[in-house]
Structure 1
Amino acid sequence: MMFFDITPDDEFYKCENVPGPTKEEIRALVISKVCLTDEDVVVDVGCGTGGLTLEFAKRARKVYSIDINSDAIKTTRKNLEKFGLENKVEILEEEGLSAIDRIEDFTKLMIGGSGGNLKNIIETGYLKLPVGGKIIITSIVLETATESVEMLKELGANPEVVNINVSRGTILDRGVMMKALNPITIVSARKE
């Protein structure tokens, strides 16, 4: 079952020390790329404020939300409670690679932050995915996207790369002024 309702940015609790939430338009694109079903188990590494965790929880059977930052964990928990989704998510305050090592079965892997351990997280996570599982990496830094593509190619995957630039309109007396948000690169691959 797929839903296309995306929670507006201004409905999230935010924290000064934690980036996010991932902008609404980016979350919509990630959800379309991940192709979730209500049977999926999602691992969200680097959950931040929990924007994507929340969207996954609305659609998947279970979500593991991982971050090493205690403020991120608190903010994610608060957002999940606000929307009544805390029972569908297991929140893990630890480094992404060690968490992935312990999680037995998952069908989708989202990497939004890696703590400098991107290649190992991609490799370990991709190898644990079942055939047909998907990996998605979001990046605000070009080098992260490049590393992701190279690592996925080394693993035999055929990565897809999308760069999205979003501008939002601000209403002025004499018209609409468009303000650009940070461009985001989304790298994804299906395990064959």
Structure 2
Amino acid sequence: MLEDKDFIKSCDVPGPTKEAIRAIILYKSEVSNTDKVVDCGCGTGGITCEFSQRAREVISIDTNPEAIEVCRRNLEKFGLGDNVTLINDNGSNALKDIDNIDIAIVGGSGRELENILDVIHEKLNPKGRIIITAILVDTKVEAINKLKELGYNPKIMEANVSNGRVLDRGIMMISENPIAIITAKKR
């Protein structure tokens, strides 16, 4: 796993997804070296970098051109990216040109989550996996409802990672923002 502190960051680009959360996402995805992965809302590229080490192909999408640039720089920094395509576009539009998806990760949807999930559903291979990360309660509800409407049996996990800071008189645990990880497999 790549360490959070090693990523190039930007004030205008969210991320990277925390290391512990990336580990859970990798585990839940059941990624293999034959998988084609789409990272929709790639931000700084934390998930893109992890999957590029494990999957056959990764396609990363973000509407923010600065996010695409920071993601590219992180891939370069870690010596990754030979199997990565970066696309600066909105998710639902970019996904229309991508076929045979094995794993779709949606971390940012720009208020287009339902449209993005509709396109992913059409493009997802049989037994394909969808993983959605959500911080807002509204996004969690929207994702679950849309996945159910599309015929999936979604599962949701709430993760709240706390890291310790050693003080003179003890250890203080500092909580990072809670995030839901929603998973579903195509039947």
Q: Which interval holds the TM-score relative to the shorter structure? A: over 0.9
Q: Once the 2 structures are TM-superposed, how far is the Cα of residue 84 of structure 1 from its aligned partner?
A: 1.4
2:32 aligns with 37
1:62 corresponds to which of 57, 61, 75: 57
What pairs up with 1:71-110 in 2 under 5 angstroms? 71-110=66-105
Provide the residue aligned with 1:142 in structure 2.
137
2:112 aligned with 1:126: no
Q: Is the 8 A contact 2:35 2:103 kept in 1?
A: yes
Gaps of 5+ in 2: none
- Which runs of 4 or more aligned residues in structure 1 lie more than 6 Å from their structure 2 counterparts after TM superposition? none
1:33 & 1:55 partners in 2: Cα distance? 13
Alpha-carbon distance between aligned partners in 2 of 1:174 and 1:149, rounded to the nearest angstrom = 44
Secondary structure of the corresponding residue to residue 8 of structure 2:
coil
Q: TM-score, normalization: structure 2?
A: 0.98
Deviations 1:138-178 (A, max 9, x none): 00111111110000000110001000011110111111100
Secondary structure of the 1:107 match is: strand
Q: Structure 1: how far apart are the matches of 2:30 and 2:112?
A: 26
The alignment covers a number of residue pairs equal to: 187
Q: 1:64 deviation in Å?
A: 0.2
| Contact persistence 2:91–2:109 (CA under 8 A) | yes
Q: Distance in 2 between matches of 1:176 and 1:95?
A: 43
**Amino acid across the alignment from 1:23:** K
Structure 2: distance between partners of 1:166 and 1:103 = 34
Alignment-mate amino acid for residue 113 of structure 2 = L
Superposed displacement of residue 32, structure 1? 0.5
Residue 191 (structure 1) aligns with: 186
Q: How far does the alpha carbon of each residue in 1:102-123 deviate from its partner, in whole angstroms, 9 at most, with x for none?
A: 1122111000000110001011
1-side partners of 2:49 and 2:121: how far apart? Answer: 22
Bigger fraction of residues in strand: 2
CA RMSD of aligned residues (A): 0.7
What CA distance in whole angstroms lies between the structure 2 residues aligned with 1:156 and 1:71? Answer: 36
Q: Within 1, Cα distance between the matches of 2:123 and 2:98?
A: 9
